[in-house]
Amino acid sequence: MSKHNTPGWIDIQVNGFAGVDYCSAATPGDEIARSVHVIWSTGVTRFFPTVITGTAEDMSGAIANLAKTKAAFRQEGRAMAGFHIEGPHISPDDGPRGAHPQHCVRPPDIEELKRWIDISNGAIKLITIAPEWPGATAYIEAAVKADIVISIGHTGANSQQIADAVSAGATMSTHLGNGAHAILPRNNNYIWDQLGEDRLAASFIVDGFHLSPAFLRTALRAKQLERCMLITDAVMPAGCAPGPYKLGEVEVELHEDGHVTLRGQQRLAGAALRMDRAIENVMRTASLTLGQATALASTNPARICRIPNHADKVEFTFDEATQSITVERVWMDGEQVH
């Protein structure tokens, strides 16, 4: 057992946590603040609350609610380093769409983007988009001009569409290897196109359910570690007891083994992952060192998503024999928050 400290961990994709849904406009601010304290206990000091595909009204309401909470709570608001909008400009197809509601999927709309920026008080920092939509290139250019990181995800794009998105300013792939068709051409497909594009960084959900060990190891080698980061893709049931839950209008179930699916189906619907467990999992699965694994959760996302340097630190013990992490103390802006 050894003691370590690293820069605070960063999670750029958190749809909810500890029974709190960030995608609902009705979620009380004090509940969001409570969930931030639970997130701190996992070693994460900064995160992007993530709003997924919904109606224009529902998404705007959720963004406004997050912005109101960010402004109202001093410490907890600072932990919300920006907002990630995942959708609604994604593929409508089964597979790439994932668990996002199909009837809410719609084309890129620069006017809607401007409304998001306005109601968020400029807090939109990351948008996931499928670049095969007509108008996607102009949308990406407008978002990048507004200092928003654009990530490719939930897509069925062809090689040229991905290349055009990168030329327009896309710099990331969202949970690469997930949100995809069950069957793909073996050589020419959007996963290979993104793996082979050195201008794209990539995020990965390493929970033991979303990715096979062989794919994870191969993807990390292809992208190279400096272009990789861990995300939890946590949803509201994360940190809760197994059972049925509802994410907005979507009914899901948290199973005993820790994976989350659409209720009555096998399709994954986010995750119940914690960042400390993700770091353990990537060490065990991909034979990374502790330093390599923690970089995927700290300095890499900070650089890739342009999150400013802070006096954030997580102190933890590490059991070398079991590769297990126990978070002990957490500081944000030099203040102890856990």
**H helix runs in 7-82, sequence order:** 29-40, 56-72, 74-79
Q: How confident is the model at residue 169 (pLDDT cuts 50, 70, 90)?
A: very high
Give one word for 81, left, alpha or beta, with left for phi > 0 and alpha for psi -120 to 50: alpha
Share of the chain above pLDDT 90, in %: 96
- Dmax (CA) for the chain in angstroms is 54
Domain boundaries of the chain, sorted by first residue: 9-311
CA pseudo-torsion sign 284, 286, 291, 294: negative
**Cα 225 from Cα 198, distance rounded (Å):** 12
Q: How confident is the model at residue 223 (pLDDT cuts 50, 70, 90)?
A: very high
Q: What's 27's DSSP letter?
A: S
Cross-strand partners of 230: 204
**Cα 121 from Cα 272, distance rounded (Å):** 29
Rounding to the nearest 10 degrees, give the CA dihedral for residues 281, 212, 126, 91. -160
Q: What is the CATH number of domain 9-311?
A: 3.20.20.140
Structure confidence at residue 174 (pLDDT)? 98
Q: Is the pTM of this model over 0.85?
A: yes
Q: State pLDDT tens for residues 85-102.
A: 999 999 999 999 999 999
Q: State pLDDT tens for residues 232-254.
A: 999 999 999 999 998 877 889 99
Q: State pLDDT tens for residues 10-33.
A: 999 999 999 999 999 999 999 999
